[in-house]
Amino acid sequence: AKKELGYTTYTFYTKGIQEEVKNSFFFEKELQLAVQNDEFIVYYQPFVELASENLVGMEALLRRKKRNGEIVSPASFIGALEKMNLIEKVGMKVLDKVCHQLKEWIERGYNVVPVSVNLSALQFKNPHLAKNIKKVLESYGIPPRYIVLEITETMVMEDIGIAQLIIEELKNYGFAISIDDFGTGYASIGYLKKFMFDHLKIDISFIREIVENAEDRAIVEAIIAIAKTFNLHTIAEGIESEEQLYVMSTLGCEMGQGFFWDRPITAQQIENKYLKVCL
């Protein structure tokens, strides 16, 4: 009976793998077509200054818009795009769409704020990255001060040599750099001294229980003190409640992003809700 059970489990297991291989094959095929047909759109999520709750920036967040209208979150396909070597293409496309949008807003006289664009670890391995980014902005006539590049500690640590070159080049061109999901990577604090970052985003995992958890508050307090030492602007990710907003501003965090103000929304919604024509 024992053997039989083992056998049954075994066939079940292989069936599972076959199923999985088949699924991932179709998933990748479909994703490839989505890239070919450019089924991607950019959502924007506001950053506000905690003291005034004024709009001070926004993050460009990738979405797939299926032909049936369904909107798909990036968590489900960024990894696959990386594996399929398509993330560079899609990443540059995101930047292109952001610049296109910014140009339109600027031409129509809107008071635009800088847009933060996420980079993938794979993009960060390309020594031409900074030049490629600069070229996209130039093609739209957008000054670099309108774009902030978000990278993670892990990306920097994977190949410090290349990372340093890319970061220096980006800084020379006039781009600001934000260190994303801070506190979740494996980098040492010393690298904040080595690299000239501009913004530090405190990871959502420290914010989630910030009201009730004294340890998280102590961690965030330490992160903000470190950020100040290195002249970095602080942004809290994932603020969802008034209480979290209150604690974060008491701790001296400068800016915030989160569902408390808005989820990532379309460019049109940003325009209606946040942008004003400056005369």
Site residues (CB under 6 A) for ligand C2E? Answer: 45, 61-62, 73-75, 78, 91, 94, 118-120, 150, 180-181, 204, 237-240, 257-259, 264
Residue closer to ligand C2E by CB (options 108, 273) is: 273
Q: At closest approach, how far in Å is the CB of 277 from ligand C2E? A: 28
Q: At closest approach, how far in Å is the CB of 106 from Mg ion? A: 23
- In this structure, the strands spanning 55-65 and 71-72 are antiparallel
Is 123 a binding residue for Mg ion by CB under 5 A? The answer is no
Q: At closest approach, how far in Å is the CB of 172 from ligand C2E? A: 23
Determine the Cα angle at 45 with ends 240 and 63, to 5°.
115
Q: At closest approach, how far in Å is the CB of 204 from Mg ion? A: 5
Residue closer to ligand C2E by CB (options 18, 152) is: 152
Q: Among candidates 218, 212, 223, which has minimal Cα distance to 185?
A: 223
Q: Among candidates 85, 86, 115, which has minimal Cα distance to 100?
A: 115
Of the candidates 169, 181, 221, 240, which one interacts with Mg ion according to CB under 5 A? 181
Is 198 a binding residue for Mg ion by CB under 5 A? The answer is no
Q: Among candidates 44, 42, 95, which has minimal Cα distance to 257?
A: 44
Task: Locate the DSSP E strands across 145-245.
Answer: 147-152, 176-182, 199-202, 233-236
- In this structure, the strands spanning 115-118 and 55-65 are parallel
d(CA 165, CA 127): 8
Q: At closest approach, how far in Å is the CB of 258 from ligand C2E? A: 3
Is 118 a binding residue for Mg ion by CB under 5 A? The answer is yes
Tokens of 220: 């965030």
Site for Mg ion in 128-167 (CB under 5 A): 150
Q: Which residue is nearest to ligand C2E (CB)?
A: 258
Is 234 a binding residue for Mg ion by CB under 5 A? The answer is no
Residue closer to ligand C2E by CB (options 17, 47) is: 47
Burial profile 38-57: b = 16 or more Cβ within 10 angstroms, e = fewer: ebbebbbbbbbebeeeebbb
Residues contributing to the site for Mg ion (CB under 5 A): 118, 150, 180-181, 204
